[in-house]
């Protein structure tokens, strides 16, 4: 006859193990006239689970994280849109012709039936030439995307919603400094995203990217971490090349077509705009921190356009190589210098910089006490302020350092 007491212990301990796997658990296990302590159960876990008694905890953590990702995606997905780019292009057709025309010699030699294929234009037709991603920031139809997605002013743009509805879109504003554009569609009561705070991001933090991958797979979700912060890159696409600074690096999969889509934190808040991917690499994508474009977004909401402060200088970021080549003791800052064309003056006549007395070959070292470095460039520092505000520049001028007060203008005015 079996030992009933041992049988009961085995059955009940097994039940506790199963209940722990499914999230129930127990503090104490009563068996007949005695008890089995949590310490005994922990020892049992260590014998049957990799990682010991932490196995159930690891499962719980993983389930919670996956649930958070699902919740974040469900929260944001309705406000993520695909952008379809179309353009009138020549419609080509194939035809056959005699390459020798009416020349009797060649016709007698080759015959009248000698024909070769060719192509010719037969009018134009609208064709899809590209795609990107955007996200809705206002219930009245304002949509954020990358400037390089909508750079062609001759193209037409269509917004495809997550519920399959389509709207023609107008490029309301293109940022002259950052890779940002705002579209407008004629719609109301739309779902919107929540903008987060990109000032306190941490390397290793979990992030989620959503986008129109390859212009074909709408609202594709990828998950990764922040791989780096404050990166500087030169990004190119659609015939445009620009230097971007203070960029977020992530290993969340970003593909062509993802441009303009949101990079989210685990709470489903937008912390970046997916912008570029490193060619020839895997898991190296880049996003513009959302705090970098919040001012531009707000000015579009309030004034219908992007309002940028304007200093009015052309410059290059000073490096040790440039300093060595020009016998300069200073290795960081903004070197005011003319462009490649003779008309590309270093200081724009009549600009705020011109009025303040800044000259070619000056080196701007600081903006309101903030030192200019490789990661902290002049455009970024000036962009913190509004047109009409007065700032103080520390300038190296002909071997001397001085403070220069400048009242910023408005870009484009």
Looking at the chain, the whole-number percentage of residues with pLDDT higher than 90 is: 45
Helix (H) or strand (E) holding 351, with range, is none
Is the per-residue pLDDT at 166 higher than 70?
Answer: yes
Q: What is the pLDDT of residue 62?
A: 54
Q: Are residues 298 and 198 in the same domain?
A: yes
How many whole angstroms separate alpha carbon 193 and alpha carbon 179?
A: 19
Q: Does one domain contain both 376 and 321?
A: yes
In a domain, 52, yes or no: yes
Query: Where residue 108 falls among pLDDT bands split at 50, 70, 90?
Result: low
Query: pLDDT tens digits for 1-41?
Result: 444 434 334 334 333 333 443 333 333 333 434 444 445 54
Residue 343 is assigned to a structural domain of this protein: yes
Tell me how long the chain is.
413
pLDDT digits (tens, 9 = 90+) for 338-376: 887 888 899 999 999 999 999 999 999 999 999 998 778
Q: Which of 54, 74, 94 is the last residue of a domain?
A: 74
Tell me: pLDDT of 106 over 90.
no
Task: Give the active site residues.
Answer: 148, 179, 259
Answer whether residue 353 is part of any domain. Answer: yes
| Whole-prediction pTM | 0.69
Q: Which residue is associated with the tokens 């090349």?
A: 241
DSSP H helical ranges for 22-77? 38-48, 54-76
Q: Is 351 left (phi over 0), alpha (psi -120 to 50) or beta?
A: beta
Range of the domain at 55: 4-74
Quote the crossing angle between the two packed helices 38-48 and 4-21, to the nearest 10°. 70
**Confidence at residue 97, expressed as pLDDT on a 0 to 100 scale:** 73
Yes or no: say if 393 and 385 are a contact pair by the CB < 8 Å rule: no
Do 271 and 215 lie in a common domain?
Answer: yes
Query: Residue 203 pLDDT more than 90?
Result: yes
Of 280, 255, 298, 269, nearest to 133 (Cα)?
255
Residue 334, strand partner residues:
317, 364
**CATH number of the domain encompassing residue 317:** 2.30.42.10
Looking at residue 239, what is its pLDDT?
Answer: 54
| 287 & 372 share domain | no
Confidence of residue 100 (pLDDT cuts 50, 70, 90): low
What stretch of H or E contains 293?
Answer: none
**Residue 360, both tokens:** 């070619």
In a shared domain, residues 297 and 316? no
**279 plus 324 within the same structural domain:** no
The torsion region of residue 214 among left (phi > 0), alpha (psi -120 to 50) and beta comes to: left
pLDDT score of 236: 61
Same domain, 324 and 399: yes
Question: Is residue 284 located within the same domain as residue 339?
Answer: no
Give backbone dihedrals phi and psi of 133, rounded to 5 degrees, phi first: -135, 155
- Residue-level pLDDT at 359: 94
Domain-ending residue, one of 40, 74, 108? 74
Q: Clarify whether residues 209 and 279 are in a common domain.
A: yes
Task: Report the candidate in 143, 116, 118 with the shortest Cα–Cα distance to residue 132.
Answer: 143
Separation CA 140–CA 368 (nearest Å): 38
Q: Is residue 395 part of a domain?
A: yes
Is residue 329 helix, strand or coil? coil
Predicted confidence (pLDDT) at residue 254 exceeds the cutoff of 70: yes
Q: How confident is the prediction for the chain on average, in pLDDT?
A: 81
Q: In the prediction, which pLDDT does 17 show?
A: 37
Which of 74, 107, 132 is the endpoint of a domain? Answer: 74
Cβ pair 87, 127 in contact under 8 A: yes
What pLDDT shows up at residue 27? Answer: 33
Predicted local distance difference test score (pLDDT) of residue 29? 35
| 380 within 8 A of 246, measured Cβ to Cβ | yes
- DSSP SS3 for 346: coil
**DSSP percent split of the chain into helix, strand, coil, nearest 5:** 25, 40, 40
| 334, part of any domain | yes
Give the model's pLDDT for residue 107. 64
Average pLDDT over residues 113-133: 76
- Sign of the CA dihedral with 349 first, then 352, 358, and 362 last: negative
Residue 151 lies in a domain: no
Tell me if 258 is assigned to some domain.
yes
pLDDT at 53 over 70: no
Could you read off the pLDDT of 280-338 as tens digits, one per residue?
Answer: 777 899 999 999 899 889 989 988 888 889 999 999 888 888 889 988 889 999 999 98
| Alpha helix positions (H), 77-126 | 104-110
- What pLDDT sits at residue 11? 39
User: What confidence score (pLDDT) does residue 344 get?
Assistant: 86
31/51 same-domain check: yes
- 212 and 295 assigned to the same domain: yes
Does residue 100 or residue 360 have the better pLDDT?
A: 360
CATH for 220: 2.40.10.10
Structurally, the chain folds into a number of domains equal to 3
Q: Which two tokens stand for residue 2?
A: 């079996």
Average pLDDT over residues 234-254: 76
Q: For 55-64, 103-112, 197-206, 380-389, which range has the lowest pLDDT when averaged over its residues? A: 55-64
For residues 317 and 372, membership in a common domain is answered with yes
Residue 229 lies in a domain: yes
């Amino acid at each position: 006859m079996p030992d009933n007491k041992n049988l009961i212990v085995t059955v009940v301990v097994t039940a506790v193990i199963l209940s722990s796997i499914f999230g129930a658990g127990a503090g104490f296990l009563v068996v007949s006239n005695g008890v089995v302590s949590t310490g005994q159960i922990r020892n049992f876990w260590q014998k049957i689970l990799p990682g010991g008694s932490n196995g159930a905890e690891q499962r719980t953590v993983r389930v919670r994280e996956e649930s958070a990702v699902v919740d974040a995606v469900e929260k944001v997905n309705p406000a993520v849109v695909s952008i379809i780019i179309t353009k009138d292009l020549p419609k080509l057709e194939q035809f056959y012709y005699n390459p020798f025309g009416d020349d009797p010699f060649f016709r007698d030699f080759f015959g009248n039936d000698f024909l070769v294929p060719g192509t010719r234009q037969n009018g134009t037709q609208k064709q899809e030439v590209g795609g990107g991603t955007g996200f809705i920031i206002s219930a009245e139809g304002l949509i954020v995307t990358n400037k390089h997605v909508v750079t062609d002013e001759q193209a037409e743009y269509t917004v495809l919603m997550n519920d399959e509805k389509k709207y023609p879109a107008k490029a309301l504003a293109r940022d002259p400094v950052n890779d940002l554009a705002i579209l407008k569609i004629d719609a109301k009561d739309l779902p919107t995203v929540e903008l987060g705070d990109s000032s306190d991001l941490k390397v290793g933090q979990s992030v989620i990217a959503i986008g129109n991958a390859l212009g074909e797979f709408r609202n594709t979700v990828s998950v990764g971490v922040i791989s780096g912060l404050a990166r500087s890159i030169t990004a190119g696409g659609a015939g445009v090349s620009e230097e971007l600074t203070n960029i977020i690096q992530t290993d969340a999969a970003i593909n062509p077509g993802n441009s303009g889509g949101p990079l989210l934190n685990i709470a489903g808040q937008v912390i970046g705009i997916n912008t570029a991917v490193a060619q020839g690499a895997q898991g190296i994508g880049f996003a513009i921190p959302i705090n970098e474009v919040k001012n531009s977004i707000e000015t579009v909401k309030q004034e219908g356009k992007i309002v940028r402060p304007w200093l009015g200088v052309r410059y290059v970021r000073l490096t040790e190589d440039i300093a060595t080549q020009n016998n300069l003791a200073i290795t960081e800052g903004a070197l005011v210098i003319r462009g490649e064309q003779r008309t590309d003056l270093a200081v724009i006549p009549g600009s705020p910089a011109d009025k303040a007395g800044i000259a070619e070959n000056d080196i701007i070292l600081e903006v309101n006490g903030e030192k200019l470095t490789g990661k902290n460039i002049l455009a970024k520092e000036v962009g913190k302020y509004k047109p009409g505000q007065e700032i103080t520049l520390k300038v190296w001028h002909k071997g001397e350092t001085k403070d220069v007060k400048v009242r910023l203008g408005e870009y484009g005015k």
